[in-house]
Structures are given as structure tokens and as C-alpha cells.
Structure 1
Amino acid sequence: MADLVLVYGMRLLPADEIESVQAAPIALKNGNEAQVTMHILEGSRESIEAQLRHSLDAFFDFYPEL
């Protein structure tokens, strides 16, 4: 299997300031494009950290061959 790249981004903002979140585009070397689905986690620091750990574990469950 080829080496992999996990693409992600994070930013903390006040919850009441978010109007919308859209997919982030990725330009591939072969000329194609892909998109990264953006996710929102809300709550206290502890809650966000727990949700993030859970989401990361669930993400890799989609790829059991890794």
C-alpha cells in the first residue's frame, strides 16, 4: 500500500459566530479535485476533545485494512 496523507484542519471559534461551513477543496497532482468534509464539534474543551477522539477512531474504522 502507498504512503497515506491525512488532511485535516482545526480552528476554535465562538459557537455563536459560525454561519456556515463548507467542504474544503483539494487539488490532486493528476489534475483531479477532491473535497474534505468539514465537521463541527461543540461544547466544553473536554467535550470537544472526547468527540474528536471518538471521531478519529470512527474514521479509521472505515479503513480496516490499514
Structure 2
Amino acid sequence: MANLTLVYGMRLLPAEEVASVGEAPIALKNGNEAHCTMHVLEGSREQIEAQLKLSIDAFFDFYPEI
């Protein structure tokens, strides 16, 4: 299998300050553009960590061939 690239970003902000979250553009070497869906997790540090771990597990469930 070819090497893969996982594209992700994280930023911690006060929950009451976030108005909306959009897609992040990704420029591909062939000149095309892809998009990365951004996700929002809210709660205490422990809650966010637990949700993030579940999200990572669920993400890789979409790609059983990996």
C-alpha cells in the first residue's frame, strides 16, 4: 500500500466565541483542490479527549482496507 497523508487541524477556542466552522481547502499537486470537513468537539478537556478518541476510531472504520 502507498504511503498516506492524514490531514487534520486543531484549535482550542472558548465555546461561546465560535459562530461557525467551514471546510478547509487542500491544494493537490495535480492542480485540483480537495476539501477537508472540519469537526467541532465541545466540553471539558476530558470530554473532548474522549470524543476525539472515538472520532479517530470511527474515521478509520471508514477505511477497513488500511
TM-score, length of structure 1 as denominator length: 0.98
CA RMSD of aligned residues (A): 0.4
Q: What residue number does 2:32 align with? A: 32
Gaps of 5+ in 2: none
Distance 1:37 1:3 in 2: 21
Aligned residue pairs total 66
Gaps of 5+ in 1: none
TM-score, length of structure 2 as denominator length: 0.98
Q: What residue number does 1:55 align with? A: 55
Runs of 4+ aligned structure 1 residues displaced above 4 Å come to none
Percent of aligned positions with the same letter in both sequences?
A: 77
